[in-house]
A and B are shown apart, each in its own frame.
Chain A
Amino acid sequence: MTTPFTPMVSGSALPIDAPAPATSRNVAHRGGAVNPSADALREKFGSAVRRVDVVWGETSVVVDGTRLQEIVRWLHDDAAQRYEYLSDLTAVEFRDTEQPIEVVWHLRSLAYRRFLRLKVLLVKGAPLEVASVWPIYKGADWFERECYDMFGIRFAGHPDLRRILMWEQYKEGFPLRKDFPLRGRFSRAEQLRQALAANPEARYSMEELSIADAFEDLPQEMLARLRSGEKTGE
């Protein structure tokens, strides 16, 4: 039986005894081939590129946070780079409290089969803020919301930066920070008390309630509470 489905990229199998590619095996812990985009970045942006590391065959480029959006846009648009795919966006906080928090972007250039890791270091004590890459990659939307939710890092320019995995009234802080205890900041009794005191009607955000007449149709008592500043939504 044939499908109406013909376009296909045919497989090209290497012979089994061909030399293993350097991508997955025989990679050194430190050093090795640097992604050519790192040199191109140095040439183009100069001092905005702070450091280039190669760890386990992957190139990490630490860049200046203030020029991040400019750098990512160039990587995305330049015909010799074409980093059109944002694989991942996350942050790392180290156990050593002196070390700055790292925000990490994993970019892929599908055309040239390259993988590049960009990093911005955020010093603790200063406001944790970095430019959003949402105008360049729409896929960054939920990544940045999650990063804000878990680490409290604000992404300037994100259209709708609010919590995503935790609910909107979550008061315990940012769970993936190292000063956040594994069992949560509040005691079990306090967590239970808050859960029982929550308003079960407030399942919709104000934005959702503003749709059509839904807001006006709410019970008077709830309307009064909402108007007096009670937060809704999850």
Chain B
Amino acid sequence: MATIKRTVEVELSTSGMDAQGRPVRTPLAVAADGSTVTVAAPPSMEPELEGEHMLINLGPQHPATHGVLRLVLELDGETVVRCIPHIGYLHCGFEKIGEYRQYNQIVPWTDREDYLNSIGNNVSFILGAERLFGIDCTPRATVLRVIAMELSRIASHLVWLGTTCIDIGAFTPFLWAFQERENIYSLLERWVGARLTTSATRVGGMAADIPSGWTEQLQTFVTLFPKTIDEVERMLTKNGIWVGRTIGLGAMTADEALNYGLSGPMLRASGVAYDVRKDFPYLDYETYDFDVPVGTNGDVYDRYLVRVEELRQSTRILEQALRRLPDGPVNIDDHRVILPPKSKATSEMESMIHHFKQVMEGPRPPIGECYVATESPKGEKGYYMVSDGTAKPVRWRIRPPSYVNLSAIPKMVEGHLLSDVIAINASIDIVMGEIDR
């Protein structure tokens, strides 16, 4: 494995530490004439353990594995020789259950897979379902969905930032990140009534329009949030300890990252500018002005930089979306796929029939299949759906980005120290709900 040499200007390094954040230890002794001389370190008291490898079990119940991930590590001293991941402790059979549910009934399941990005998953799934039905949502719903996706991207990156700080040993940014995340959740709570399990979308629209005064609250968030990013960056980006614990770790070259199927910030940190929003646009993302941050070295430090920059870019998209949010209905006017308003359903015969048919049978897409990918905070989140013309999908497949990203962990940790496994694992940004499904 090629080691990477880079210089990062360190501002907040503590005295007695080198640029890598490691303490400078020089054993000193005083000679007879009073001058200090350097003496060799004393011989190690450790017994000779050469050639003997140790088996370490990390997880599944370990706070730094971000869920129920289990890694079996073979160690030579402190160096990881081999890593064997075990997953599946949270397997619930979402895809099997989806084959027995109507499309709108699957939406609550999408909350629970990648639970840090629940409203983003709702939108991704419903984009796939709408492709299968051959319908388009209204212009207002399109912009609202962009707002939902970018809000959840920020919320997810903030959780990643906070927990990674905890893993690496910084506590304060965790509090700042969770404070901002709280603002996002209160916005979501006012909009759809739930904080975590939002279930916000329906085929052909949204469960609810935004309440009055909501855009002003979002505008306040968009105005204040960049200051928090600046604070976090001032705390971490040039911090000697942070740089020392992240730089050069778990590096993947661009070719390796592509070949291993990594996506999202993991892939972009390695230097591949693949962002689904730019390359295969959906929800009119091609009309928004935003940049795609791309790293060069593909190590933990670059992944951190990419994610922090994505926070800024998401804020830019939110600003533009707020400016262009049109008036008009949030649901399409096609009551074969979306419920008519309750007042109509209780007063008009036709609406009542639509209401009954939809609740009892569910809307039916034509025979077909589609794979719709969106850029989730973790990477390319794809939904592959196959319909045989009935109200329930034949197959509902989730393409979980963190599942693929995690599959490269043996490649990333082998050769590093045991303590670096925690930092590398944190940098993947895994959510076990999505990996095990």
With A11-B288, A16-B287 known as contacts, the answer to whether A5 contacts B295 (CB < 8 A) is: yes
Interface-side segment among A66-74, A120-128, A207-215: A207-215
The residue in chain B whose Cβ has the minimal distance to the Cβ of A102 is B386
With A4-B8, A13-B286, A164-B87 known as contacts, the answer to whether A214 contacts B281 (CB < 8 A) is: no
Contact check, B258 vs A182: say whether CB atoms are below 8 A apart: no
- Chain B residues with CB under 8 Å of A234's CB are 86, 88
The residue in chain A whose Cβ has the minimal distance to the Cβ of B320 is A13
Contact check, A182 vs B96: say whether CB atoms are below 8 A apart: yes
- Chain A residues with CB under 8 Å of B408's CB are 138-139
Give the distance in Å from the alpha carbon of A60 to the alpha carbon of B368 in the complex. 11
Contact check, B382 vs A87: say whether CB atoms are below 8 A apart: yes
How many residues of chain A get a CB closer than 8 Å to chain B's CBs? 72
With A165-B87, A211-B53 known as contacts, the answer to whether A15 contacts B287 (CB < 8 A) is: yes
- B26: Cβ under 8 A from any A Cβ: no
Contact check, A11 vs B292: say whether CB atoms are below 8 A apart: yes
Interface-side segment among B106-114, B335-343, B354-362, B394-402: B394-402
- A189: Cβ under 8 A from any B Cβ: no
Contact check, A207 vs B84: say whether CB atoms are below 8 A apart: yes
B: interface residue count bin? 35 or more
Contact check, B97 vs A182: say whether CB atoms are below 8 A apart: yes
Task: Given A84-B258, A204-B55, output 16 extra A-B contacts at Cβ < 8 Å.
Answer: A1-B230, A7-B295, A11-B278, A16-B287, A29-B134, A29-B368, A30-B368, A94-B388, A106-B382, A110-B258, A113-B279, A139-B260, A165-B87, A165-B436, A208-B72, A211-B53
7 smallest CB-CB distances across A and B, nearest first, come from A139-B261, A13-B289, A165-B88, A142-B407, A212-B53, A5-B305, A88-B399
A interface vs B, CB < 8 Å? 1, 3-5, 7-16, 18, 20-21, 23-25, 27, 29-30, 55-56, 58, 60, 84-88, 90, 92-96, 104, 106, 110, 113, 115, 117, 137-143, 150, 163-167, 175-176, 180, 182, 203-205, 207-209, 211-214, 234
| Interface pairs (17), CB distance under 8 Å | A1-B234, A4-B9, A7-B296, A23-B281, A55-B369, A56-B131, A95-B388, A106-B371, A106-B382, A117-B371, A139-B404, A142-B404, A165-B88, A165-B91, A167-B88, A205-B84, A214-B55
B interface vs A, CB < 8 Å? 8-9, 52-55, 57, 72, 74, 82, 84, 86-88, 91, 93, 95-97, 100, 131-132, 134, 136, 230, 233-234, 237-238, 256, 258-262, 271-274, 278-284, 286-296, 302, 305-306, 308-309, 324, 366, 368-371, 373, 380, 382, 384, 386, 388, 390, 394-395, 397, 399, 403-404, 407-408, 411, 436-437
